[in-house]
Chains A and B, each alone.
Chain A
Amino acid sequence: MLQVTGLSKDFGGKPALRNVSFQVEKGEIHGLLGHNGAGKSTTLGVILGMVEPDQGEAFIGGISVQKKHSAALRQAGAIFESPSFYEYLSGWENLRILVSYSGRFNAKETRAVVEKVGLTKAIDAKVRTYSHGMRQRLALAQALVPEPEILLLDEPTDGLDPEGIKWFRDFILGLRKERGTTVLFNSHLLAEVEQMCDRVTILKEGKLVHAGKIGDLQGDTHIYQAEFEPWAEAAAFLELNGVQILGRGRVALPPEADPAILIAALVGLGVRVSAFAPIRRSLEDLYLEITTQASPTR
Chain B
Amino acid sequence: MNFLSQLRGELRKLFGRPRTYLGYGVFLLMEAIILIVFKLKGAQKMMRDFVERNGLSFGDAYSSLTVTYWMMGLSMFFLGSIYFALVAGDIVAKESEDGNLRLVLARPISRLRILILKYAAISIYTITFVLFVGVSGYLMAIAAVGTKGGLWAWSPEMKVFSFFPDSSEGLKRIVMAAGGIGLSMVTLSSIAFMFSCFKIKPASAAVATLSVLFVDLVLQRFPFFAPYSEYFVTWRMSCWVYLLENTISWPKIASSYVFLGGLNITLFLIGYVAFRLRDVKT
Contact = CB atoms under 8 A, between A and B. Distances in A.
Interface of A: 11, 41-42, 44-45, 48-52, 69-74, 76-78, 80, 82-86, 88-89, 93, 96-98, 100-105, 139, 142, 152, 154
Interface string B95-106: 000111011111
B107 A101 contact: yes
Contacts of A142: 103
Contacts of A49: 105
- Quick one: which of B17, B103, B110, B282 has the most chain A CB within 10 A? B282
Q: Looking at A76, A86, A100, A103, which has the most chain B CB atoms within 10 Å of its CB?
A: A100
B262 interface: no
Contact of A48 (B6, B16, B17, B105): B105
Contacts of A154: 282
A51 B279 contact: yes
A98 B282 contact: no
Given A98-B104, A101-B114, 8 more contacts: A49-B105, A50-B280, A76-B106, A83-B99, A84-B103, A88-B18, A97-B12, A101-B9
B251 interface: no
B16 A86 contact: yes
A101 B102 contact: no
Contact of B16 (A42, A89, A139): A89
Contacts of B108: 69-74, 101-103
A248 to B, nearest CB: 49
Contact size range, B: 20 to 34
A241 to B, nearest CB: 53
Contacts of A101: 6, 9, 104, 107-109, 114
Contacts of A103: 2, 108
18 contacts: A41-B281, A42-B281, A49-B105, A50-B105, A50-B106, A50-B279, A50-B280, A50-B282, A52-B277, A69-B108, A69-B110, A82-B99, A84-B102, A97-B10, A98-B103, A100-B5, A102-B108, A105-B5
Nearest to B4: A100
B16 to A, nearest CB: 5
B282 A44 contact: yes
B12 A93 contact: yes
Contacts, number: 101
B103 A85 contact: yes
Interface string B1-32: 11001101110110011100000000000000
Contacts of B106: 48, 50, 73, 76-78, 80, 152
Top 9 closest pairs, chain A to chain B, by CB: A84-B99, A97-B9, A101-B107, A78-B106, A73-B108, A70-B108, A50-B280, A74-B108, A51-B279
Contacts of B98: 84
B44 to A, nearest CB: 44
A100 B102 contact: no
Contacts of B281: 41-42, 45, 50-51
A19 B109 CA distance: 27
Contacts of A73: 106-108
Nearest to B7: A100
A235 B281 CA distance: 55
Contacts of B103: 78, 80, 83-85, 98, 139, 142
A70 B109 contact: yes
A74 B114 CA distance: 16
B105 to A, nearest CB: 5
Given A48-B282, A89-B16, A84 B100 contact: yes
A104 B5 contact: yes
Interface string B143-178: 000000000000000000000000000000000000
